Structure 1
Amino acid sequence: MMRAIWNGAVSFGLVNVPVRLYAATTNHDIRFHQVHERDGGRIRQKRTCSVCGEEVQYSEIAKGYETDDGQLIMLDDDDLATLPVASGHEIDVVQFVPSDQIDALLLDKSYYLEPESKAVKPYALLREALRETDRMAVVKVALRQRETLALLRVRDEAIVLQTMLWPDEVREPEFETLRTEVDLRPQEMQMASSLVESLSGEFDSSQFEDDYRQAVSDLIEYKREHGGGRPTPEAAPADEGDDMTDLLTALRRSVEAAGGKAPAEEPATASADEKAEEAPAEEKPKRSRSRTKKTEEAAEGSEEKAEEAPKKSTRSKSSSSKKKSEEDDEATTAKGRRSKSA
C-alpha cells in the first residue's frame, strides 16, 4: 500500500490545490547480504577511525569537509543551525514551459500528487490545462528540509512531481573524439535511415522486463527446491555483562596498568558444601605486617583454646555418663533389698 510521505499544496496564481505526495517508483532489485561462507552469519560493518583505529559511536561522529588545500573544516550542530532550511509545505509554480524544452538528463525522482477530497476540481483543472497546452510547470518545493527544483507533468489521470537536478550538477561531455570531423556519405545516411524505419514502433513499456532479475529469481528457487538452502543462523547474543563485572574488570585493568598485581579472582559459583570441603585444604592467609605482636599472641591464644575445646567437651561427656551409671546401680541394689525384706 502506498503511503503519503509529504503533504502540502500546489500554488499557481490565486489557485491553491491541497495535495499529498507519494513515491511513484520502487526498486525491485534482488538484494544479497554479505555472509560468512563457513557458517552463514551476517557480516557487520564497524565504524572505525582511520587514525587511532578505534570503533566510533554515532554520538562521536561529526561532519567534516576537506578543502582542496588539505584543510579539514569541522561543522557542529550550532553551525548547521545557521543554514537556511526550507520547511514550507507549498509547491510554488514559477513558470509553464513547453515539454520539448525539458532535457531528460535533468530529471531525478518521481512522485504522484493526490488531491484532497475538497480539491478534486482545481486539481483536474490544472491537469487538463497542462495536457491541453502541452506544457510542464517548473516549481520549487521543500523536501527533506531542502529546497529543490521540480516539474509538474501529467501521466494518465495523475499529476506527477518530478524532481530535477540543478544545472551545475549535470556534467558536460568534454570528449576530444566528439570534435573530430566525420565525412558521412549520402548512401550511408540512407541505409541508416532505412534501418531506423524498419525497427520503428510504438513504445509500450509492458513489452519489456528485467531478464536478469528473473534469472536470479529462478536460480534461487531452483536451489531452494533441490536442497541448496539451509536455516538462517541466529546471531550470537552480545555479551554485555552486568555493571559489577564491568566495574571489577575496569579496576583490574587499572591496577595492571599502574604496574601493580591484581588479586586472583574467586570462583563465580560454588555451593556451601563444596566450600566446606575445600576449607581445610586452603592455606591460611598471610598476616599483615602492620599487625602488632600483642594482636598475634591474642590470635594464637584463641587458636589454642579452640583446639582444647573439643577435648574438654569429651571429658565432660564421659564424667556425666559414669555418674549416671553409678546412680542406676545404687537404685537396683536398693530395690533388691526391699524385695528381700518383703
Structure 2
Amino acid sequence: MRAMWSGAVSFGLVSVPVKMYAATTDHDIRFHQVHGADGGRIRYKRTCTVCGEEVEYADIVKGYETEDGDLIMLTEQDLESLPTATGHEIDVIEFVPADQIDPILFDKTYYLEPENKAAKPYALLRESLTETDRVAVVKVSLRQRETLALLRVRGKTILLQTMLWPDEVREPEFDILDADVELRPQERQMAASLVESLGADFDPTEFSDDYREAVLALIESKRTSGEVQPTPVPAAADDEGDSMTDLLTALQRSVEAARSSSGGTRRRAAAARGDGSRSASEDEQATGSRARSADEAETHKPAARKRTRKPA
C-alpha cells in the first residue's frame, strides 16, 4: 500500500507520528461505453445549453443557483480567497463512549501506521482506547478540507474513520410511521422466535458478491470462446474537432507539431552551412510548410487548465 497522508496524532502533550492508508477498496467492475458497431469509445462534449457552443475547461466556472432562481458565479480568484486547511495534525478533541456514535455518520476508513520511533505512544493510545471502550473524536485536514473523524481500534491497528457533518444526515419524513400500529403478543413472540432461529455470530468471510462473480464468469466465458476483438484505435480527429476531449490526443498532436517545427529549424541550419541547394520555389514551399506547422501547433496546443478548488 502507498501512504496517502502523513502527520501526527496529537492528544495532550503526546504526539504520535503516523502515516495514513486507505483501508478499503472498490471491487466494482467498471465498463466503458462503446459503439456496438465497431467498439469505439463514446466521448462526451462540454456544450453550453444557452448558446450551444462547446466550452473549454479554461472557460468553465462554478455556478450556484439560489432558491429564487438567481445564478451566482464563482471564479478561481473567489475560490482562492476561501480558507483552506493544510495542517498535518490529527487533533484529538475528546474521548467518547463508542456506543454513542451513530454508524450513519461513518464515511471512509483509513489505517494509521506509526513511524518507526512512535511504536510505544501508538500502542499506548491503542490500549487506552481499548481498555476504556472509547473512541477519539478528532479533526483532520484532508484534501484542503477540515473533516470530523474518529480514532478507533481494530485488532492492533488504529483506524481513522471520517464522518459526515451532522447537517449532512437527512431526517426521514415518513408519515406512515406516525400511525398507530397494534402488535398482538402472539405476533411479537413469533417474530422473536424467528429472530432467535436465525441468530448467528457474524463472519463477513461467509458472504460474497454473487453478481460480481457472475459478471467475471461471463467475461471469462466470452474470452475463452473467442468472443473478443482488439481495442480499436481512434481515428484522427479533424482540425475543427474537439482537441480537448482527449488530453492524450491533444498532447500527442502538440509533440508532433513541435517535432515538425524543430525539423524546419534543422533544415534552415543545413542550408546556412551549404549542405544543399534549393530553388526559390522550394524555399517558398518550405516556408509555407513551416507556417502551417506553426499554425497547427497553435491550433492543437492544449489550453492551460486552471486549478480550481471545491468550495468548502
- Whether these two folds match at TM > 0.5 is yes
- State the SS of the aligned residue for 1:92: strand
Partners of 1:54 and 1:157 in 2: how far apart?
A: 57
Partners of 2:46 and 2:156 in 1: how far apart?
A: 47
Q: CA deviation at 1:77?
A: 1.9
The aligned counterpart of 1:32 is 31
Instruction: Describe the shift of the 1:247–1:217 C-alpha distance in structure 2 as closer, same or farther (beyond 3 A).
Output: closer
- State the SS of the aligned residue for 1:216: helix
Gaps spanning 5+ residues in structure 2: where?
A: 240-252, 258-290, 297-312
Question: Which deviations, in whole Å up to 9, do the C-alpha atoms of 1:213-255 show, x marking residues without a partner?
Answer: 000000111111112211111112334597528969xxxxxxx
Partners of 2:67 and 2:37 in 1: how far apart?
A: 45
The aligned counterpart of 2:108 is 109
Of the two, which has the highest radius of gyration? 1
- State the SS of the aligned residue for 1:131: helix
Output the amino acid matched with 1:115: P
Instruction: Describe the shift of the 1:246–1:38 C-alpha distance in structure 2 as closer, same or farther (beyond 3 A).
Output: farther
Structure with the bigger RCO (C-alpha within 8 Å, sep 6+) is 2
Partners of 1:245 and 1:10 in 2: how far apart?
A: 56
Matches within 5 A, 1:263-342: none
The aligned counterpart of 2:58 is 59
Partners of 1:247 and 1:86 in 2: how far apart?
A: 44
The aligned counterpart of 1:174 is 173
Give the TM-score normalised by the residue count of structure 2.
0.77
The aligned counterpart of 1:139 is 138
Partners of 1:70 and 1:174 in 2: how far apart?
A: 26
Q: Which one is further off, 204-213 or 50-59?
A: 50-59
Instruction: Describe the shift of the 1:55–1:121 C-alpha distance in structure 2 as closer, same or farther (beyond 3 A).
Output: same
The aligned counterpart of 1:318 is none
Output the amino acid matched with 1:68: E
Partners of 1:38 and 1:156 in 2: how far apart?
A: 53
Question: Which deviations, in whole Å up to 9, do the C-alpha atoms of 1:40-88 show, x marking residues without a partner?
Answer: 0000111111111111111111111111111111111221122111111
Matches within 5 A, 1:72-221: 72-221=71-220
How many residue pairs get aligned? The number is 247
- State the SS of the aligned residue for 1:128: helix
Partners of 2:7 and 2:295 in 1: how far apart?
A: 54
Partners of 1:233 and 1:45 in 2: how far apart?
A: 18
- State the SS of the aligned residue for 2:7: strand
The aligned counterpart of 1:332 is none
C-alpha RMSD of the superposition? 1.6
Give the TM-score normalised by the residue count of structure 1.
0.70
> Is the aligned partner of 1:244 residue 2:261?
no
Output the amino acid matched with 2:8: A
Gaps spanning 5+ residues in structure 1: where?
A: 249-342
Output the amino acid matched with 1:23: A
The aligned counterpart of 2:305 is none
Partners of 1:184 and 1:190 in 2: how far apart?
A: 10
- State the SS of the aligned residue for 1:80: helix
